[in-house]
Amino acid sequence: MKKYALVLAAGKGTRMRTELPKCAFPILKKPMISYIVENIEQSTIDDICVVVGHKKNVIEEILQNRVCYAEQLEQLGTGHAVLSAASQLEDKEGTTFILPGDMPLMEYPVMNKILRAHEEMGNDLTIVTMKLENPKGYGRIVRNEYGTVTGIIEENDCNESQKLIKEVNSSVYVVDNKLLFKYVKQIKKSDRKGEYYLTDIVTLMHQNHKINTFMLRDPMIGMGFNDLYGISIAEKYLRESINKGHMLNGVSIINPETVTIGHNVSIEEGVWIYPNTTIIGNTVLKRGCRVGPNSEIIDSTIHEFAEIRHSIVVDSEVGENTTVGPFAHLRGHASIGKNNRIGNFVEVKKSTTGEGTKAAHLSYIGDSTVGSRVNFGCGSVTVNYDGVKKNQTVIGDDVFVGCNVNLIAPISIGDNVFLAAGSTVTKDVPKGALAIARNKQINKEDYAKHFIKPKDDQK
């Protein structure tokens, strides 16, 4: 039988106090709902349906065509949200895994365990529960004298004895698909809030169908996060979990409480990561490289034994044995070759460099193809923008670019060229040439007195 996931992501999330819909809010700089969908995709679930509503375009922009969508036009509770997906799921045979869109810590191995337990116990409905010492705010799991689940009572509807129950509802369910929509249609609107509670299907089903629970060992896995303080708790949990996994796999992380590593980052053993460093997106760190301190790496690949210090690398690649920083910035698909030196206050954008190239300080390399063993002197710039469009600079091998050289693109520099310091080069330079493009110096004797008074006259 097929398995379906139904993710409820239509809410506004007013307690977040943000313009973003709650399920789109970032955790470790990735939208909350992306964690959920990525884990579902790795599970044994076949298809995903996401219920959208408030600012649905934001959720749809994040998930694109990875899922199908159902729209909840009015937010009238969880039962109403499920009913909104009837057109997508009602006629399908199988099992539906229902979970909220604000539950980013539930990973696919747990999802698979829940689904397997549901099948092995022959349940019609499995309720995922947690045991909390302080269950305030959660719906309580109510059982009869035989231990059979007879209902879920929301906090505000509990009597004093029910409030003492520590087993609570996580809002995650696995249910036979046909039964789900049969009983959701029977849910009555709550008198107190005017909403349709999905929890009411337990009362409707328990006499004629098999209902069981699956208790999470770690309650954090089943937590939903509704405000910015909750987001900080989720981030701390994820950060510690991710860092621990990498350290157990041979990655040295100094002061791990200050290091943030994203969910999709791949790190080989033998890597060193230093304090106050953020590594996110689809980043790959190869064996023996060193990153940090005070660095940010996003969607980039850092090759073996490269070193990134006090720098930012975005959408770029750094070659083997290359050093970057301090205070360098690589972006826009920069591709730095092996054994390079990208030094202090150097920016490289949408450019490639060959092996052994050096830009030690205060340079800008943009929209350029740079060969091997090129040396950029201090203050050298590829002038790629003419005010209308970006233009290309091509530099051959074994080129010396003197200090404060401006290369006005589009321009091509041949191999074995020497560009004299202070030159503004506007024409192509052939192989083996020396290019000097600066005005002749003129000294006017005894002229400075017009600008600078002698010290004896300064009061």
Structure tokens at 448: 């400075």
Q: Which residues lie closer than 8 Å to 385 by C-beta, 6 or more apart?
A: 366, 391
Max Cα-Cα span within the chain: 108
Question: In residues, how long is the chain?
Answer: 459
E strands of 18-73, at which residues? 26-27, 30-31, 47-52, 68-71
Contact at 8 Å (CB) between 38 and 28?
Answer: no
Q: What is the number of other CB atoms lying within 10 angstroms of the CB of residue 34? A: 19
**Which pairs from 388-396 meet CB under 8 Å and 24+ separation?**
390/366, 391/367, 392/367, 392/368, 393/366, 393/367, 393/368, 393/369, 394/368, 394/369, 395/368, 395/369, 395/370, 395/371, 396/371, 396/431
361 in active site:
yes
Contact at 8 Å (CB) between 51 and 75?
Answer: no
Q: How many CA atoms lie within 13 A of 309 on its CB side?
A: 10
27 backbone φψ class: left, alpha, beta (φ>0; ψ -120 to 50): beta
Task: Point out the catalytic residue in the list 54, 206, 246, 361.
Answer: 361
What does the pLDDT profile of the chain (459 residues) look like in tens digits? Answer: 899 999 999 988 778 888 888 999 999 989 999 999 999 999 999 999 999 998 999 999 999 999 999 999 888 999 999 999 998 998 889 999 999 999 999 999 999 999 999 999 999 999 999 999 998 889 999 999 888 899 999 888 888 889 899 999 999 999 999 899 999 999 998 877 788 999 999 999 988 999 999 999 999 999 988 889 999 999 999 999 999 999 999 999 999 999 999 999 999 999 999 999 999 999 999 999 999 999 999 999 999 999 999 999 999 999 999 999 999 999 999 999 999 999 999 999 999 999 999 999 999 999 999 999 999 999 999 999 999 999 999 999 999 999 999 999 999 999 999 999 999 999 999 999 999 999 888 888 988 887 776 665 554
H helix runs in 206-281, sequence order = 228-248
Helix, strand, or coil here: 277?
coil
The span from the CA of 226 to the CA of 135, in Å, is 16
